[in-house]
Structure 1
């Protein structure tokens, strides 16, 4: 019975015998009566199934949702749907590879998987990729706060123009929001406690999606409110398949919209009664929920503005009516959502830095608080002093997102799964290797497109995660 049920996990939970024994060799003492040194993963998860879904869904949901309608306008409805389905399936498969690798060796940290696969260099590379990518994501969220919050305050004051008061300065506003909201949430010890704010954040994005649907039936076409001199009949006809110079950015936009992999293993660690099957279900439900929200937002946003939709959907609504009450409420909802997402994104960065700087140290409140403060400080400096960080985020996303989704999970799986379980030329390992190769192709293509844009001087459209 003890072999069949270890720490509450039965065989029916989805573990096979080797995975259970291997994992609990890492978490339980090897000898009775000998105290094992505590590690940051050595505690029983207490986060419920529902809260874990909220946290992972909130990690998936990002500012990229505002650019999906623009992506659909550059691909057509059918091609966009095909690409969205493919990216969602590949993301779920990528999480499967991570969970399988973590289960075999009993490790639930991305950086430690790198260490197990390639030693210290693998651990450092994984930690650096996570840090760079998530700092970019945090910065993109605070850029939304910097640009949108002054407009919301102006609307509440009933004014059309910014007259230069300090409370309408975006730089001051992001510092205030960081100090009063983001920092206190980032100081929590465990990621699971953010499930409540994640649930509220997701409810704000649901309101955004509902508003996009409603506006489709309110805003007429042709768009008489927009300053468009020539309107063709085709402007109000949806395209099923289309390509143009901006189509190449659709795959990066969609890929960035599903990046959640640095958060998967920390959420897995804190999941109550954690098993691979249970965590994979959390991931599948979260991806499916975000797939539905992304598709609805893109479809109804596109069917509202057709070829006139901008890369940032909220800006397009503002051109119709800048003082529209519903649009104002949507702006507030999006601001709340991205603000509450920043602490969730910060947790994996802090864990990555702890793995590099203090791998064997027990939990320390001073280090915990200092890292959170320094990260938020650095991100604030980026948002304040870099006038246009859009292309920088593009190149970071084109390199770090494929690594996190495709390359690292694939090569970790090939290196970590023992050959006595799966031969090197077995079908699962060949699939994982092809998956990693696809990531390299995607990274080269995305980087090339951005470089071509820089060389030609064309404005780059789209958004990151």
Structure 2
């Protein structure tokens, strides 16, 4: 969606006979954009924060996300653009649009890599800190060259993700998005059953309601959980591609609010049930805990269903993030070229380069927790809160109220302070561990 083609046309032009998207379809697409890999680290945040602070944090960030999306849509409709980068361009010129594009690229590419890392963990297992967690393929078939991480991810990339990534309209992904949301619900349902069964059998772990500060955990360590939740709710890069397929902007706001309620409920449920199942042994990717050696009282079949349902969910979320990533790269690098969806050669080239890079990174990067913290403290927090806030404060269209400016200021201050503390704490912890 290059400016040369017109910022008013981020997608393929719709024909008069084309069916317009429904609110329910948008809910699926928005929910799919939100519920990505972030859900895997929610139980680990409850391990750090405790149940009550984690619930409060999820609600606060969900509410701030709703406000920031409303800011974006209002300033988009007041201007002459239909992209996130375009809104920033109207407020801050070329530098603003480039800042958004770079943040979208960093956030989405990071999330795509995280997706593949998690899928690799599910299929091929992991050996963190000397312990062995088998993947589904190793449990079923033993160890072979074809079920190693390198070959399993290559198969998934070629036969699942590539065909979905070749769709040129985000609306075309509504059916795969609906299936992905269903898979996420199945994941939550199975986790719930397993947790309730563990409680019934007296084998559940006692939930920690509040954080426990000691010599190993300081109050500053609690801030490292904030970027993880921020990343889990960052979907602002897909607000415009999804929202501008509607005739009425209010429909998008409705879809976003419904999606946020659904996603907040799913996040907290998974976090609580995951903690009940595994307690302090929860890993940064909870799916790793669901293996035959996890000690679960439920059969290995349920363990495999949990892992596979969410791995399939991530496979279907992948093209949603790839869509906006590809569009922003094209807008930044090929601003004078025709509309991306109309240029087959350029479309295929960018798509293939992104898939190859994501695959290469995923087979070389071992863990997702620090990746989440990095994204949530930098590019994701900019897209979710800082950029919408500064747009309101800049107020080039003269539409912000005093209440808007107060909320925007609070949003920016909270984002900057928490991110700075999280980054500083991680740097200090890294130095302390090495010394």
1:108 maps to which of 57, 82, 89:
82
Runs of 5+ in structure 1 lacking a partner? 1-25, 27-35, 225-234, 459-465
Secondary structure of the structure 1 residue equivalent to 2:198: coil
Of 75-84 and 316-325, deviating more is 316-325
Of 322-331 and 109-118, deviating more is 322-331
The Cα shift of 1:237 comes to: 3.4
TM-score (norm 1): 0.81
Pair 1:267 & 2:242 matched: yes
What CA distance in whole angstroms lies between the structure 1 residues aligned with 2:123 and 2:354? Answer: 22
Structure whose CA Rg is larger = 1
What CA distance in whole angstroms lies between the structure 1 residues aligned with 2:195 and 2:120? Answer: 28
Deviations 1:346-372 (A, max 9, x none): 111111112112234233121111111
Secondary structure of the structure 2 residue equivalent to 1:148: helix
Of 143-152 and 37-46, deviating more is 37-46
What CA distance in whole angstroms lies between the structure 1 residues aligned with 2:109 and 2:351? Answer: 12
Of 431-440 and 46-55, deviating more is 431-440
The Cα shift of 1:220 comes to: 5.8
1:314 maps to which of 276, 287, 293:
287
The Cα shift of 1:42 comes to: 7.8
Match of 1:290 in 2: 263
The Cα shift of 1:428 comes to: 1.6
What CA distance in whole angstroms lies between the structure 2 residues aligned with 1:395 and 1:80? Answer: 19
Match of 2:211 in 1: 242
The Cα shift of 1:218 comes to: 2.6
1:406 maps to which of 377, 381, 385:
385
Pair 1:53 & 2:27 matched: yes
Pair 1:299 & 2:299 matched: no
2:61 maps to which of 62, 70, 87:
87
CA gap 1:223/1:251 in 2 versus in 1, 3 angstroms: farther
Match of 1:201 in 2: 180
What CA distance in whole angstroms lies between the structure 2 residues aligned with 1:415 and 1:441? Answer: 21
What CA distance in whole angstroms lies between the structure 1 residues aligned with 2:368 and 2:146? Answer: 23
Pair 1:345 & 2:324 matched: no
2:408 maps to which of 413, 432, 436:
432
CA RMSD of aligned residues (A): 2.5
Secondary structure of the structure 2 residue equivalent to 1:217: helix
The Cα shift of 1:126 comes to: 0.8
Match of 2:42 in 1: 68
Q: How many positions carry a matched residue from both structures?
A: 404
Deviations 1:81-114 (A, max 9, x none): 2111111111111111111111110422111112
The Cα shift of 1:326 comes to: 0.6
The Cα shift of 1:258 comes to: 0.6
What CA distance in whole angstroms lies between the structure 1 residues aligned with 2:344 and 2:8? Answer: 16
What CA distance in whole angstroms lies between the structure 2 residues aligned with 1:387 and 1:431? Answer: 39
Of 430-439 and 386-395, deviating more is 386-395
Any residues of structure 2 matched to 1:446-465 within 5 Å, and which? 446-457=422-433
What CA distance in whole angstroms lies between the structure 1 residues aligned with 2:71 and 2:287? Answer: 36
TM-score (norm 2): 0.86
The Cα shift of 1:185 comes to: 0.8
Deviations 1:366-408 (A, max 9, x none): 1111111111111111112345575455323321111011111
Runs of 5+ in structure 2 lacking a partner? 125-134
Deviations 1:410-434 (A, max 9, x none): 1122224423x447xx332232233
CA gap 1:301/1:116 in 2 versus in 1, 3 angstroms: same
